[in-house]
């Protein structure tokens, strides 16, 4: 047998940067050529609003007052007891759930929460479903766990969940479904009505197939909603067999600190065994003892968020101006993305054209949907203002305005 120096699928992943990263790197090269202020980079979902001052206060105080060996030492593999208790209390106070510290597993952001969860439950031959458009890393995470990702086509009308297509595509091989609301890339928040109908289907299919179908709620944008009447239902209250994969990357603007958690709903069938599988998966993947300083920081700032009003202001400005130039935009209730129909059928060609005006936006294809672009408005309001003439010229190039 031929000796293979590395895993071919890993090599392929390492050599194929995502289109989002490629766009970001192009922006860095372009900034060197023409100056950062002349490049309008809307590629990355990197929070532009600083972490709350209370987070900085916590870090400063801990550095001064907490014993260094304690502060920087390993915590329990599943996370510090105090942090898990703070997380559980917070969830219970918000959603009226009966979660305990022993249902929480601390991780390194939503990415680790997802990979740990998926490895805990998926087996070769299983299918995991998700709804287009979706966060492209889902495919990487699901396939790395040995399963197949089945994509439910988008509902091109409102970008809610396409439940008709879901019912047609679900099979006895379906072990799990990942959903993400508020959604990256559309900014859409799935309505309670849609989610209830979806959970009814899941329950019916569990009964029909005679096995558990797990719901994985990927929730890094839970707090990023901009209108008082927009509610983000808590999925464990709608469906028992639910995992919540949460992250503080966006709500506290701490993406570099790599901190988040998994909730294994105590209402889930065999939840203690499933939790043990999550612990095993975290161990196998090396996601144990989540960053210790960050665990203490989130426990102390459990109800805090960054100043999200800045994203609301950005959303309002961009949506209003782009629609006035003739772009068809999906109104985003949450997250910090605007989903805009490309002005030609090929979104990749449209994004290349946008580069003529120094606008860096991401084509929809890698999100599992054609003909749209994602504009990440987690940027300064001032950059949005300066970029508006470029959006207008781009529209004019297609005969709009
Ligand atoms: C939908 C979605 N899930 C998961 C992640 C990963 O988040 P984290 O940085 O917490 O790992 C992201 C990051 O942008 C995301 O948009």
d(CA 265, CA 105): 11
Q: Do 401 and 326 contact (CB within 8 A), yes or no?
A: yes
d(CA 278, CA 271): 10
Domains within the chain, CATH numbers bracketed = 8-51+307-397 (3.90.1150.10), 54-300 (3.40.640.10)
C-beta of 220 in contact with ligand 1 (< 6 A): yes
At 190 the three-state DSSP class reads coil
Question: Ligand 1 atom 4: the closest Cα is on which residue?
Answer: 110
Question: Ligand 1 atom 2: the closest Cα is on which residue?
Answer: 135
CA dist 163 → 159, 178, 195, 233 (Å)? 11, 14, 10, 17
Ligand 1 atom at minimum distance from 335 CA: 16
> Helix crossing, 292-300 with 81-95: angle to 10°?
40
Instruction: Please give the span between the terminal C-alpha atoms of the chain, in angstroms, as a whole number.
Output: 63
C-beta of 135 in contact with ligand 1 (< 6 A): yes
Ligand 1 atom at minimum distance from 247 CA: 10
Q: 383 exposed, middle or buried (CB, 10 Å; 0-12, 13-18, 19+)?
A: middle
Is the peptide bond between 185 and the residue preceding it cis, with omega within 30 degrees of 0? yes
Q: Do 90 and 302 contact (CB within 8 A), yes or no?
A: yes
Does the pTM surpass 0.95? The reply is yes
Q: How are beta strands 372-376 and 359-360 bridged, if at all?
A: unpaired
d(CA 382, CA 318): 11
pLDDT in tens, the chain (401 residues): 688 889 999 999 999 878 998 999 999 999 999 999 999 999 999 999 999 999 999 999 999 999 999 999 999 999 999 999 999 999 999 999 999 999 999 999 999 999 999 999 999 999 999 999 999 999 999 999 999 999 999 999 999 999 999 999 999 999 999 999 999 999 999 999 999 999 999 999 999 999 999 999 999 999 999 998 999 999 999 999 999 999 999 999 999 999 999 999 999 999 999 999 999 999 999 999 999 999 999 999 999 999 999 999 999 999 999 999 999 999 999 999 999 999 999 999 999 999 999 999 999 998 999 999 999 999 999 999 999 999 999 999 999 87
């Amino acid at each position: 047998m031929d000796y293979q120096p590395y895993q071919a699928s890993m090599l392929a992943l390492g050599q194929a940067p995502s289109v989002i990263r490629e766009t970001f790197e192009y922006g860095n090269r372009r900034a060197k050529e023409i100056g950062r202020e002349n490049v309008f980079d809307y590629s990355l979902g990197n929070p532009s609003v600083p972490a709350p001052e209370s987070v900085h206060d916590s870090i400063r105080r801990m550095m001064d007052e907490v014993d260094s060996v304690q502060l920087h030492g390993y915590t329990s593999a599943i996370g510090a007891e105090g942090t898990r208790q703070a997380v559980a209390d917070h969830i219970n106070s918000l959603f009226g759930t009966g979660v305990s510290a022993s249902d929480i597993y601390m991780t390194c952001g939503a990415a680790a929460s997802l990979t740990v969860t998926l490895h805990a439950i998926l087996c070769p031959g299983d299918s995991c479903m998700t709804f287009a458009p979706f966060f492209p890393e889902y495919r990487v995470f699901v396939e790395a766990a040995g399963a197949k990702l089945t994509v439910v086509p988008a509902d091109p009308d409102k970008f809610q969940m396409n439940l008709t297509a879901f019912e047609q595509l679900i099979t006895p091989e379906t072990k799990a479904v990942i959903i993400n609301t508020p959604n990256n890339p559309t900014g859409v928040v799935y309505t309670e009505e849609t989610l209830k109908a979806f959970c009814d289907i899941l329950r019916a299919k569990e009964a029909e197939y005679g096995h558990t179908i797990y719901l994985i709620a990927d929730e890094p944008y839970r707090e990023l909603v901009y209108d008082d009447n927009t509610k983000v239902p808590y999925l464990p209250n709608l469906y028992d067999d639910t995992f919540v994969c949460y992250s503080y990357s966006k709500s506290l603007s701490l993406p570099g600190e790599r901190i988040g958690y998994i909730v294994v709903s105590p209402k889930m069938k065999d939840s203690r065994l499933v939790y043990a599988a999550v612990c095993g998966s975290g161990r196998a993947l090396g996601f144990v003892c989540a960053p210790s300083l960050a665990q203490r920081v989130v426990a102390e700032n459990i109800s805090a968020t960054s100043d999200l009003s800045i994203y609301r202001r950005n959303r309002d400005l961009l949506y209003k101006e782009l629609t006035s130039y003739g772009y068809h935009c999906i109104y985003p209730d949450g997250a910090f993305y605007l989903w805009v129909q490309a002005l030609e059928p090929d979104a990749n060609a449209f994004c290349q054209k946008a580069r003529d005006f120094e606008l860096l936006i991401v084509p929809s294809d890698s999100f599992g949907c054609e003909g749209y672009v994602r504009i990440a408005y987690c940027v300064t309001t001032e950059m949005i203002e300066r970029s508006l003439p470029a959006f207008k010229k781009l529209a004019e190039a297609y005969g709009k305005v």
